[in-house]
Amino acid sequence: MFNNLPKLLSGGFIASVFLSVYIINGCTSSQFSQAVSDSIATGRTLAEKHCSSCHRFPEAGLLDKVTWQKNILPLMAPKLGVQSWTGQYFTRDPKNPVSIADWQYILSYYKYSAPETLPQPTVPEKPKDDWAIFQMEKPFRYDTIQPASTTLVSYNQFDKKIYTGDVITNSLCSWDQSLHQTSVVKLNSPAVNSIFEDNGECVVTSIGSLQPSDAFNAEVNRIDLNNKNKKPETLVNQLPRSVQTVKGDFNKDGLKDYVVCGFGNNSGSLIWLEQTRDNKFIKHTIRGVPGAIQAIADDFNGDGWEDIMCLFAQADEGIWLFTNDHHGNFNSKNILRFPPVYGSVSIQLTDFDGDGKQDILYACGDNGDFSRILKPYHGIYIFRNQGNDVYQKAYYYPLYGSTKAVAEDFDKDGDMDIACIAFYADYKSKNSESFLYFEQDRKMHFAPHRLPVNNCGRWLCMDINDLNGDSYPDIILGNFALLSPDGEKTGADQHTPFIILKNTKGK
């Protein structure tokens, strides 16, 4: 094999040979420019053809030249049957659908069309630096040795406690109204999602591995919060790296089922866990691709059966609607599709414009991949419901590294406001924005507030609920200081597991 490498690699010199031919033939600069232009156009056509087979076509302008050439294209090449060695590309199979010549054209498109740097985003309105309607509270006692590694913050409205999960201990802990901590149970991996029931039970999703992995070691456990001596009951294990579980009765048999977002890595799936009469669960794959990150169960078509809307965030990013066919299956329909570098993170359905239809609040900003640069398209979007499963972009606010956006009527004025965290914020900027509060002060106009919490932690998770019973929603922000997103010491609080932004409107 190694003796054949020079021949296999010969296609890697197409670009240089191309230039040499033009120099030898004495072509004019205009002819050369036209040839380059034609090469780029051919490369774009080929990229649209081949790249769109797996996900939405990524325009060259989505990333800078260096990121395309050094990170993304070498990663994508093997998916098209093209291998690389010592900086050159080759293919072992002459019948490969993408020839080396075609691959060189694709390289030319991204090399010559991508910008040197990405543009700065333009915000519709600069944020106001204040506390808005909030004031901060912190726990009194917590571990001051280990860095905070909070993966879950969730308020239980039944027992009035905050529950947290973390990476270092894999423990589920509760915090009473005085913010005193109690360890509830130790899990096999970090807790990332919870469902609380009025009977004192809690269904917890354990991710399996926080780092990208194709291991099937995620779990869904049921915990009796009233009996600390009772071991967690494993409802389902051997799941792909899972990030969320939602409940519903999807076959109308009177038994509680669950849908799990098995995000995975290179493999994963959206899974329906059908409960049987003997209290076991049968796994059904709804969509067998990685990236399921947030699901919503509801009757979307009004036929009396629960359907599922799900955001996928790995490669083929977008929102899919799965309508229940009443026979144990779901019909799939793509609602919105995003480029594979967007880093989709969260969705929520709510009526922003008061027309009685549920709009989509969407956030993108996951930047822990192979293109770790600040991206001007990261932020929060509102897609207005046009009816018949058609959604149109109505609002966008850029926010580097957005991690989660949640809409609530925080000031109780009859319209929806927005809270948004950004784990991958621009921490090198003096005006870093790791948390923004958007007050909707008139129809579809949002006044942003930049609360001074950048140095209080690195916000990986968030929950919103009324913590003190005054009917005004409060905000909990979970601190994941174990990993600094920019790889540097930024002076943020390393140990406080979470903070509360208490809503002062209820005073």
* 91-148 per-position pLDDT tens digit: 877 778 888 888 888 888 888 899 999 999 999 999 999 999 999 999 988 888 899 9
Residue 277: per-residue pLDDT: 95
CA dist., res. 434 & res. 494, Å (int) = 15
Residue 17: per-residue pLDDT: 41
Place of tokens 């996928």: 312
Kindly compute the dihedral angle of the four CA atoms of residues 204, 205, 211, 214, in this order, to the nearest 10 degrees.
150
Residue 466, CB-side half-sphere exposure with 13 Å CA sphere: 13
Spell out the domain ranges in the chain. Answer: 29-113, 120-147+343-506
Whether residue 431 is predicted with pLDDT greater than 70 in this model: the reply is yes
**What is the reported pTM?**
0.91
CA dist., res. 324 & res. 330, Å (int) = 5
**Given pLDDT bands bounded at 50, 70 and 90, which one contains residue 1?**
very low
Residue 488: per-residue pLDDT: 53
Q: Could you tell me which residues come within 8 angstroms of residue 91 by beta carbon, excluding any fewer than 6 positions away?
A: 8, 11, 81, 82, 83, 98, 99, 100, 103
How confident is the prediction for the chain on average, in pLDDT? Answer: 90
86 burial (CB, 10 Å; 0-12 / 13-18 / 19+) is: exposed
CA dist., res. 134 & res. 417, Å (int) = 14
DSSP helix/strand/coil, 350: strand
Q: What average pLDDT does range 407-431 have in this prediction?
A: 94
Q: What is the per-residue pLDDT across 473-504, written as a single tens digit (0 to 9) for each?
A: 999 999 999 876 655 556 788 999 999 999 99
Q: What is the per-residue pLDDT across 169-223, written as a single tens digit (0 to 9) for each?
A: 999 999 999 999 999 999 999 999 999 999 999 999 999 999 999 999 999 999 9
List phi, psi (to 5°) of 268. 175, 180
* Weakest mean pLDDT among 156-170, 286-300, 418-432: 418-432
458 within 8 A of 479, measured Cβ to Cβ: yes
Residue by residue, DSSP assigns 131-178 as: -TTEEEE--S---SSSPPBEEEEEEETTTTEEEEEETTT-EEEEE-TT
393 within 8 A of 418, measured Cβ to Cβ: no
Residue by residue, DSSP assigns 81-141 as: T-EEETTEEE-S-TT-SS-HHHHHHHHHHHHHHS-SSPPPP--SSPPEES-TTEEEE--S-
Whether residue 15 is predicted with pLDDT greater than 50 in this model: the reply is no
Q: Could you tell me which residues come within 8 angstroms of residue 253 by beta carbon, excluding any fewer than 6 positions away?
A: none
List phi, psi (to 5°) of 104. -65, -35
Residue 10: per-residue pLDDT: 34
